[in-house]
Amino acid sequence: MARTIRIKGMSCAHCVMAVTKALKGIEGVENVSVNLEKGEATFDETRPVTMETLRRRIEDAGYELG
Ligand SMILES: [Cu+2]
């Protein structure tokens, strides 16, 4: 199922790459697409991923869930 989350703090292509990499590292997350202008990331959730897991990975990469 496709899922979209809001991400705060992205300002350039480097941020997009960092967020993409962080999300791709999560089991159950596939086909990550990050939209810099919208401050959003969309991915296919192939098995349940908790908000806490997403928050931790995003924060470890230096950004925040919005
Ligand atoms: Cu950046």
Alpha carbon of 22 to ligand 1 centroid (Å): 14
pTM: 0.95
Alpha carbon of 30 to ligand 1 centroid (Å): 22
Yes or no: is domain 2-65 CATH 3.30.70.100? yes
Residue pair 64/18 in contact (Cβ under 8 Å)? The answer is no
Alpha carbon of 58 to ligand 1 centroid (Å): 14
Mean pLDDT for the chain?
98
Task: State the DSSP string of the chain.
Answer: -EEEEEEE---SHHHHHHHHHHHHTSTTEEEEEEETTTTEEEEEESS---HHHHHHHHHHTT-EE-
pLDDT band at residue 39 using 50, 70 and 90 as cut-offs: very high
Residue 38: φ, ψ to 5°:
-85, -20
Domain chopping of the chain, boundaries? 2-65
pLDDT at 41: 98
pLDDT in tens, 4-27: 999 999 999 999 999 999 999 999
Alpha carbon of 21 to ligand 1 centroid (Å): 13
Alpha carbon of 48 to ligand 1 centroid (Å): 29
